[in-house]
A and B are shown apart, each in its own frame.
Chain A
Amino acid sequence: MRYLPKSQSERREMLDAIGAKSIEKLFETIPAKYRLNELLNLPGPLSEMEIIDYFKARAAENSRGFTSFLGAGVYQHVKSVVTDALVQRGEFLTSYTPYQAEISQGTLQAIFEFQTLMAQLTGQEVANASMYDGSTALTEAVLMAERLTRRHRVLVANTVHPEYRQVLATYAKHLGIQIEEFGFTASGQADLNSLRDASLSEAAAIVVQSPNFFGVLENLAPFAERAHATGALLVDCITEPVSLGIVKPPEEADIVALEAQSFGVPPSYGGPFVGVIAAREKFVRQMPGRLAGEALDAEGRRGFCLTLATREQHIRREKATSNICTNEALYALVVTIHLCLLGKEGLRELAGQNLSKARFAQEQLKKIPGVTLPFSGATFNEFVVEFPRPVTQVNQKLAAEKIIGPLALEKYYSGMANRGLVCITETMSRTEIERFTAALRKILAN
Chain B
Amino acid sequence: MNQRTTDEMEAIGIKKARRHVSQNEGLIFDKSVRGKRGMELPPLDVPSVDPANALGAEFVRDGIEGFPEVSEIEVIRHFTRLSTWNYAIDLGMYPLGSCTMKYNPRVNEFVARLEGLATEHPLQPDEVSQGCLRIIHDLQKCLLEITGMDAASLEPVAGAQGELTGLLLIRAYLESKGNPRKKVLIPDSAHGTNPASVVIANYEVQNIKSNERGQIDIAHFREFVTEDVAALMITNPSTLGVYEENIAEIAEILHSRGALLYMDGANMNALAGVTRPGDFGVDVMHLNLHKTFSTPHGGGGPGAGPVTVKKILEPFLPVPVVTQTNGKFALDYNRPQSIGRVRAYCGNFGVLLRALAYTLAYGPGIRQTTEDAVLNANYIRKHLEDLYELPYNLPSMHEVVFSDARQRKHGVNTMDIAKRLIDYGFHPYTTAFPLIVPGALMIEPTESESREECDLFIEAMRSIATEAETNPEIVKTAPHATRVGRLDEVAAARRPILRWKPKQNQNAQKQVATHGEKAHIIPTA
Q: Of residues A57, A170, A320, which shows the largest number of chain B Cβ atoms within 10 Å of its Cβ? A: A170
When the two chains form their complex, are residues B290 and A295 in contact, meaning their CB atoms are under 8 A apart?
no
CB-defined contacts of B70 to chain A, threshold 8 Å: 340, 343
Q: Which of B57-65, B405-413, B460-468 contacts A (4 or more CB under 8 A)?
A: B57-65
When the two chains form their complex, are residues B359 and A104 in contact, meaning their CB atoms are under 8 A apart?
no
CB-defined contacts of A246 to chain B, threshold 8 Å: 51, 55, 60-61
The minimal Cβ–Cβ distance linking A414 to chain B, given in whole angstroms, is: 15
CB contacts under 8 Å to A, within B191-212, are 191-193, 195-202, 205
Q: Is B45 an interface residue (CB 8 A)?
A: yes
**In the bound complex, CA of A217 to CA of B36 (Å):** 30
**In the bound complex, CA of A81 to CA of B472 (Å):** 49
CB contacts under 8 Å to B, within A295-332, are 295-305, 307-308, 310, 312-320, 322-331
CB-defined contacts of B114 to chain A, threshold 8 Å: 55-56, 59
CB-defined contacts of A89 to chain B, threshold 8 Å: 80, 83
CB contacts under 8 Å to A, within B51-84, are 51, 54-56, 58-61, 63-70, 72, 75-76, 78-80, 82-84
Q: Which of B89-97, B222-230, B252-260 contacts A (4 or more CB under 8 A)?
A: B89-97
When the two chains form their complex, are residues A360 and B46 in contact, meaning their CB atoms are under 8 A apart?
yes
CB contacts under 8 Å to A, within B97-150, are 99, 101, 103-105, 107, 109-125, 127-132, 134-135, 138, 142, 145-146
When the two chains form their complex, are residues A343 and B69 in contact, meaning their CB atoms are under 8 A apart?
yes
B136 and chain A: residue at smallest CB distance: A269
A to B CB contacts below 8 Å, 16 in the list:
A2-B361, A15-B375, A18-B375, A29-B395, A57-B131, A62-B129, A90-B90, A95-B86, A95-B89, A96-B94, A170-B341, A268-B349, A269-B122, A269-B132, A325-B192, A356-B44
CB-defined contacts of A319 to chain B, threshold 8 Å: 199
The count of chain B contact residues (Cβ–Cβ below 8 Å) is 204
**In the bound complex, CA of A408 to CA of B138 (Å):** 29
When the two chains form their complex, are residues B41 and A94 in contact, meaning their CB atoms are under 8 A apart?
no
Q: Is B334 an interface residue (CB 8 A)?
A: no
Among B128, B164, B509, which residue has its beta carbon within 8 angstroms of that of A323? Answer: B164
Report if A133-B344 is in contact (Cβ < 8 Å); known contacts: A40-B273, A269-B117, A326-B300. Answer: yes
Besides A109-B27, A356-B46, 14 more A-B contacts (Cβ < 8 Å) are: A35-B274, A57-B131, A58-B132, A117-B68, A166-B341, A270-B345, A271-B349, A293-B497, A301-B517, A302-B484, A307-B498, A313-B196, A333-B299, A399-B128
When the two chains form their complex, are residues A112 and B500 in contact, meaning their CB atoms are under 8 A apart?
yes
Binary CB contact string for chain A from 87 to 118 against chain B (1 if under 8 A, 0 otherwise): 11111111111101111111101111101110
CB-defined contacts of A61 to chain B, threshold 8 Å: 130-131, 134
Binary CB contact string for chain A from 1 to 44 against chain B (1 if under 8 A, 0 otherwise): 11111100011011101111001001111110011100111111
When the two chains form their complex, are residues A303 and B487 in contact, meaning their CB atoms are under 8 A apart?
yes
Q: Which of B7-15, B154-162, B307-315 contacts A (4 or more CB under 8 A)?
A: B154-162
CB contacts under 8 Å to A, within B155-175, are 157-161, 163-164, 168, 171
When the two chains form their complex, are residues A268 and B117 in contact, meaning their CB atoms are under 8 A apart?
yes
Q: Of residues A268, A302, A312, A317, which shows the largest number of chain B Cβ atoms within 10 Å of its Cβ? A: A268
**In the bound complex, CA of A41 to CA of B280 (Å):** 19
